[in-house]
């Protein structure tokens, strides 16, 4: 049967219980093939706004599978109902949906934001959904209909950032489906568009976490020395040295407080400072890490000096508050601005002058520590102790042995495969 003639799946509220309905023609087709399939399939979920969002997303997936020419649809529905199984959620957060009688792009989007906000980490929500909101601004006053959908799709197709536009379309489509399921609109005009915004493969862009280039030991020392000698950046020198000597993520250093530091014993990385919201949150992995300070004289001496001049609860602070990442970036050279007073560009200039081999972003301080430490472990420890030492490093920096082995350990010509002669 032609994919278009199968119809589309939908959902409704049957006496307070959510159920997914399959198109009648599809049900008949599948029964003729011997499948035990029902037209109405109860999800076991109550008709709450949060549950409706889950079901809307699953219905979207079903319809995507139905539109697949290779019939990716799972007639047992197990693939889809597995997606509805309980996951960790934000408990206790409530929201009030719009009561406007006219369903516009604006109130549809506002209601969707209220639903999504408790489900997503705060800084991620602000950045990601802020971009989508900016794209939809020209259409917020328009009613939800086919004409509006055509205008929005045409506008999104004209955007240079195709991935951002594609995700915006997907979220708006889900937002309108929610309104349909809620009985506020009769149909979703965006369902006529299956994949209107084509994007390139994602192989061309990598994050700072994924870009694992590192400085050499000599370049690391050159950068630290340059910060201590620069009159506009000397206050940031201890932070730079700390990041190089621990491999922690910048946000974790900004959020570090003295009650989590025991000189000569451990540093406990428990929190991170969001670079977007400036709020304290958990670490990237949401796990508390301990960094061993025993037999680490350089790092202990640095912490003793910092503790002697401490002014706040934060180990690194500016005017009594955690350091702003933008201030470090200005001194580092991430922005490449021309004002030497506000933007000293220390590392950028070191690279231009040939005093270090290459310019890398501040996040490379983390990669430098992991790379240097991993290879020192490989040289220092015998085979029996090697894995234990590597696991300690992985735990200390919030990584895994697999990632460190794959990306940070250098293969040398001296290493050969064992022979069974």
- Say how far apart CA 134 and CA 302 lie, in whole Å: 45
Please check the confidence at residue 93 and state whether its pLDDT lies above 70.
no
227 or 286: which leads in pLDDT? 227
Average pLDDT in the 303-327 region?
Answer: 86
pLDDT score for 6 = 66
Q: Does any domain span residue 295?
A: yes
Helix axes 162-181, 49-66, angle to 10 degrees: 120
Tokens for 179, please give them: 């309104």
Question: Both 9 and 110 in a single domain?
Answer: no
**Minimum mean pLDDT range among 26-35, 43-52, 147-156, 158-167:** 43-52
pLDDT score for 127 = 83
* Per-residue buried b or exposed e for 113-128, using 16+ beta carbons within 10 Å of the residue's own CB: bbbbebeeeebebeeb
Question: Both 228 and 146 in a single domain?
Answer: no
Decide: 275 and 325 in contact? Cβ < 8 Å. Answer: yes
Question: Both 196 and 230 in a single domain?
Answer: no
pLDDT tens per residue, range 150-206: 999 999 999 888 888 999 999 999 999 888 887 788 788 898 887 788 876 554 455
158 DSSP assignment = T
**Minimum mean pLDDT range among 78-92, 213-227, 248-262, 366-380:** 78-92
Question: Both 191 and 112 in a single domain?
Answer: yes
Question: Both 147 and 16 in a single domain?
Answer: no
Q: Does any domain span residue 213?
A: no
pLDDT tens per residue, range 132-142: 999 999 999 99
pTM: 0.56
pLDDT score for 193 = 84
Q: Does any domain span residue 370?
A: no
Q: Does any domain span residue 397?
A: no
Decide: 283 and 398 in contact? Cβ < 8 Å. Answer: yes
pLDDT score for 101 = 57
Neighbours of 398 (CB within 10 A): 18
Beta bridge mates, 41: 20
pLDDT score for 418 = 56
Beta bridge mates, 314: 257
Average pLDDT in the 37-57 region?
Answer: 85
Query: CB within 8 A of 221, min separation 6: which ones?
Result: none
Number of H helices, E strands in the chain: 16, 10
pLDDT tens per residue, range 198-253: 876 554 455 565 567 899 999 999 999 999 999 988 889 999 999 999 999 999 99
pLDDT score for 201 = 58
Average pLDDT in the 8-13 region?
Answer: 89
Q: Does any domain span residue 416?
A: no
pLDDT band at 63 (very low <50, low <70, confident <90, very high): confident
Question: Both 239 and 354 in a single domain?
Answer: yes
86 or 300: which leads in pLDDT? 300
Please check the confidence at residue 337 and state whether its pLDDT lies above 70.
no
353 DSSP assignment = T
Decide: 134 and 156 in contact? Cβ < 8 Å. Answer: no
Q: Does any domain span residue 59?
A: yes
Q: Give me the percent of the chain exceeding a pLDDT of 90.
A: 39
Question: Both 76 and 148 in a single domain?
Answer: no
pLDDT score for 132 = 93
Please check the confidence at residue 358 and state whether its pLDDT lies above 80.
yes
The domain tally of the chain equals 3
pLDDT score for 338 = 56
Please check the confidence at residue 365 and state whether its pLDDT lies above 90.
yes
- Say how far apart CA 28 and CA 41 lie, in whole Å: 15
Decide: 144 and 111 in contact? Cβ < 8 Å. Answer: no
Domain housing 267:
221-360
pLDDT band at 404 (very low <50, low <70, confident <90, very high): confident
Question: Both 225 and 158 in a single domain?
Answer: no
Question: Both 228 and 348 in a single domain?
Answer: yes
- Say how far apart CA 80 and CA 55 lie, in whole Å: 9
- Say how far apart CA 7 and CA 88 lie, in whole Å: 33
Average pLDDT in the 248-270 region?
Answer: 94
pLDDT band at 301 (very low <50, low <70, confident <90, very high): very high
Please check the confidence at residue 419 and state whether its pLDDT lies above 70.
no
Domain boundary among 336, 360, 384: 360
Question: Both 111 and 238 in a single domain?
Answer: no
Question: Both 347 and 226 in a single domain?
Answer: yes
Q: Does any domain span residue 16?
A: yes
DSSP state letters, 191-250: GG-SS-S----GGG---TTT------HHHHHHHHHHHHH-TTTGGGHHHHHHHHHH---H
Neighbours of 406 (CB within 10 A): 10
pLDDT score for 86 = 65
Domain boundary among 175, 203, 231: 203
Q: Domain holding 225: CATH number?
A: 1.10.443.10
Question: Both 238 and 339 in a single domain?
Answer: yes
- Say how far apart CA 83 and CA 62 lie, in whole Å: 11
pLDDT tens per residue, range 379-396: 888 777 888 888 889 899
Domain boundary among 203, 233, 263: 203
Mean pLDDT, all residues of the chain: 83
Q: Does any domain span residue 164?
A: yes
Query: Which residue is it, tokens 């209107």?
Result: 196
pLDDT score for 203 = 45
Q: Domain holding 154: CATH number?
A: 1.10.150
pLDDT score for 407 = 79
pLDDT score for 204 = 45
């Amino acid at each position: 049967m032609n994919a278009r003639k199968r119809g589309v799946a939908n959902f409704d509220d049957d006496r307070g219980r959510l159920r997914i309905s399959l198109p009648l023609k599809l049900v008949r087709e599948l029964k003729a093939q011997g499948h035990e399939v029902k037209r109405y399939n109860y999800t076991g979920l109550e008709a709450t706004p949060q549950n409706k969002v889950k079901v809307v997303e699953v219905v979207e997936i079903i319809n995507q599978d139905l539109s697949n020419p290779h019939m990716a649809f799972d007639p047992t529905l197990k693939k889809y109902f597995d997606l509805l199984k309980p996951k960790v959620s934000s408990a206790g957060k409530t929201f009030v949906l719009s009561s406007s009688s006219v369903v516009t792009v604006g109130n549809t989007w506002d209601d969707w934001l209220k639903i999504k906000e408790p489900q997503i980490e705060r800084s991620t929500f602000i950045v990601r959904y802020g971009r989508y909101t900016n794209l939809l601004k020209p259409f917020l006053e328009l009613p939800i209909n086919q004409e509006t959908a055509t205008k929005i799709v045409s506008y999104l197709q004209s955007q240079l950032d195709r991935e951002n536009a594609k995700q915006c379309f997907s979220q708006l489509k889900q937002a309108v489906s929610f309104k349909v399921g809620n009985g506020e609109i009769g149909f979703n005009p965006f369902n006529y568009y299956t994949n209107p915004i084509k994007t390139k493969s994602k192989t061309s862009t990598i994050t700072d976490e994924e870009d694992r280039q590192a400085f050499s030991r000599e370049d690391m020392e050159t950068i630290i020395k340059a910060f201590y000698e620069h009159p506009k950046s000397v206050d940031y020198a201890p932070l730079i040295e700390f990041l190089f000597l621990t491999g922690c993520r910048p946000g974790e250093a900004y959020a570090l407080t003295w009650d989590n530091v025991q000189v000569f014993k451990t540093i406990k990385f428990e929190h991170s400072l969001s670079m977007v919201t400036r709020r304290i949150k958990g670490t990237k992995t949401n796990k508390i890490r301990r960094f061993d300070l025993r037999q680490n004289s350089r790092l202990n001496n640095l912490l003793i000096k910092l503790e002697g001049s401490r002014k706040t609860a934060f180990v690194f602070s500016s005017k009594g508050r955690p350091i702003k990442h933008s201030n470090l970036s200005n001194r580092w050279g991430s922005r490449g601005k021309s004002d030497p007073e506000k933007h000293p560009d220390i590392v950028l200039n070191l690279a231009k002058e040939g005093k270090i081999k290459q310019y890398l972003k501040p996040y490379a301080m983390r990669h430098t520590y992991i790379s240097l430490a991993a290879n020192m472990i490989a040289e220092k420890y015998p085979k029996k102790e090697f894995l234990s030492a590597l696991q300690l490093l992985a735990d200390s920096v919030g990584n895994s042995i697999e990632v460190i082995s794959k990306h940070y350990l250098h293969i040398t010509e001296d290493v050969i495969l064992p022979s069974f002669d």
